[in-house]
Structure 1
Amino acid sequence: MQRLAVRDTTAAKMLDMPPTQFRRLVADGALPPPTRIAGLERWRVDQLQAILSGEAAKPNEDFEL
C-alpha cells in the first residue's frame, strides 16, 4: 500500500535531506505546509512528488532545494 501522507521526518528522508532543513524549507514556503489529520501534521506525498517532477514549480519564486 502506497502512503498518502507522511510525517516530517519521513518527508525529509524522501527528499534526502535532514529534517531541520525540510522544516526550514516549509517555513520559507519552498515546500508545501502540512495537512492536519486528527491533530497530526502530515505532508501529502503527491504534493512532494509534484514538486520533484516540476509540476508544482513556482517559476517566479527564488527558492533553492
Structure 2
Amino acid sequence: MARVSPIYVNEKNAAALLDMGIGEFRSHVIAGHLPRGLEIVPGVVRWDAEALRCIGRGDAIEGMGGVNW
C-alpha cells in the first residue's frame, strides 16, 4: 500500500516537521512567527503540512526573492 502524505497535521506533528518541541512550536505560533492552525471542523485544529514544509525550506520568506543565497 502507498504511503499517505498528510495534507494537514496536528500540533505535535507540526512541531515535529520543524524539529521543535510542542512548547517551542506553540510559543512561535503565539508570537506570530509561525502560522496559526486552522479549525478544519469544529474543535479540530490542524496545520497545513505543505506550508510548514515551505517555511522549513525557506520558501515562505517574502521580499527575499532577489537574494542569491
Whether TM exceeds 0.5 here: the answer is yes
Structure 2 CA distance, aligned partners of 1:24 and 1:33?
A: 11
Between Structure 1 and Structure 2, how many residues are aligned?
Answer: 59
Residue identity matched to 1:12:
A
Q: Percent identity?
A: 32
TM-score (norm 2): 0.77
* Structure 1 segments unaligned to the other structure (5+ residues): 60-65
Corresponding residue number in structure 1 for 2:50: 46
Q: Which structure is larger by alpha-carbon Rg, 1 or 2?
A: 2
Instruction: Give me the CA root mean square deviation.
Output: 1.3
TM superposition outliers: structure 1 runs of 4+ over 4 Å: none
1:21–1:58 distance in 2 versus 1, CA, 3 Å? farther
What is the distance in 1 between the residues matched to 2:18 and 2:60? Answer: 15
Among candidates 12, 18, 22, match of residue 21 of structure 2:
18
Unaligned runs of 5+ in 2: 64-69
